[in-house]
């Protein structure tokens, strides 16, 4: 029997959301080599889950393109402060908004705080999500099912509804789906289903909002080295995470963020209702 290759050190975090500061090696999520060219100068983006992982990389990339950014996070204060530090290093402003996007009222509050602080909103990135692996559908409680969809799907509806009046006439919405929406995952039934819902939501919302001048697209990452991984998988699973991709490795947030930059700028002006697939080389439909 051939043993699976160890790709990362075994590790596990006993809290959700996970902490980027506790990961080893740390994710590449600071966009150090990225050179902006002013494609978002003067604009404002709101990024959920912007404290770490893909959200951090997207936030920093937007800042390097000239945008001010508001980030929403649950309770990872140190990670959020680090992201703000990176944005300020890029010469832009970063507003930290702490709370649970699973609560409808907080979604409205996040949009209101962004507008009060920056007086405009151009890009909404629905990125935050959660997952709870279970070996059988019998182990998925109703409360877990509701929680997963509340965070991963319902929050997108609430945030879009709150942001819509301010995005009309050129706004962009970018949703984070997942490769699991296309190939499934036997241990992530509710998570995969929620990500499939996000794909359909993206396609339908794109059709509904084009008349308002708003473009809606999504990104469906494959396995990426973010705090979500050690906080939800066993240490052994973490060590092998990403090894089943054609590239035989996990992706880094820095490798995913450029897709979000593309969809937020005029470079993607003829795209709506589409999904980009930075997933380590796995061909998928749609």
Mean pLDDT, the chain cut into blocks of 10 residues (286 residues total)? 66 90 93 98 98 98 98 96 98 98 98 98 98 96 98 98 97 98 97 98 98 98 92 91 93 98 98 98 86
Sheet holding 275-276, edge to edge: 94-98, 68-73, 44-48, 123-126, 172-176, 215-219, 275-276
* Catalytic site residue from 62, 166, 191, 260: 191
Cα angle 150, 154, 160 (rounded to 5 degrees) comes to: 145
Q: Which CATH number fits domain 32-276: 3.40.190.10, 3.30.950.10, 1.25.60.10, 3.40.50.720?
A: 3.40.50.720
Amino acid 1: pLDDT? 30
Helix%, strand%, coil% for the chain, nearest 5? 45, 10, 45
Amino acid 16: pLDDT? 87
Question: Would the pTM count as exceeding 0.85?
Answer: yes
What are the residue boundaries of the structural domains of the chain, listed by start?
32-276
CA 175 to chain centre: 7
Q: Tell me how far apart the alpha carbons of residues 224 and 201 are, in angstroms, rounded to a whole number.
A: 23
Q: How far is CA 182 from CA 9, 133, 200, in A?
A: 28, 17, 12
Known catalytic membership, residue 62 = no
Amino acid 2: pLDDT? 34
Amino acid 5: pLDDT? 66
Task: Give Cβ neighbours of residue 119 (< 8 Å, ≥ 6 apart).
Answer: none
Amino acid 4: pLDDT? 53
């Amino acid at each position: 029997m051939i043993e699976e290759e160890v790709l990362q050190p075994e590790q596990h975090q006993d809290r959700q959301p996970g902490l980027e500061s506790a990961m080893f090696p740390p994710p590449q999520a600071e966009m150090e080599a990225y050179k902006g060219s002013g494609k978002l100068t003067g604009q404002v983006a709101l990024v959920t889950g912007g404290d770490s992982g893909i959200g951090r990389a997207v936030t920093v990339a937007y800042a390097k393109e000239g945008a001010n950014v508001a980030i929403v996070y649950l309770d990872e204060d140190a990670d959020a402060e680090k992201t703000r530090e990176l944005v300020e290093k890029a010469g832009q402003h970063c507003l930290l908004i702490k709370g649970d996007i699973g609560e409808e009222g907080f979604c409205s509050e996040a949009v209101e705080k962004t507008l009060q602080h920056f007086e405009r909103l151009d890009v909404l990135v629905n990125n935050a999500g959660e997952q709870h692996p279970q070996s059988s559908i019998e182990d998925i409680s109703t409360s877990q099912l509701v929680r997963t969809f509340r965070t991963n799907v319902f929050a997108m509806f609430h945030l879009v509804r709150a942001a819509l009046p301010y995005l009309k006439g050129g706004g962009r919405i970018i949703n984070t789906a997942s490769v699991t929406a296309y190939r499934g995952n036997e241990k992530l039934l509710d998570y995969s289903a929620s990500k499939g819902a996000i794909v359909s939501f993206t396609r339908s919302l794109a059709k509904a909002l084009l008349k308002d001048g708003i473009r809606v697209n999504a990104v469906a990452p494959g396995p990426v080295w973010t705090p979500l991984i050690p906080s939800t998988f066993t240490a052994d699973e973490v060590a092998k995470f990403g090894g089943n991709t054609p590239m035989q490795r996990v992706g880094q947030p820095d490798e995913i963020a450029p897709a979000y930059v593309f969809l937020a700028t005029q470079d993607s002006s003829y795209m709506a209702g589409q999904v980009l697939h930075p997933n380590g080389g796995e061909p998928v439909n749609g």
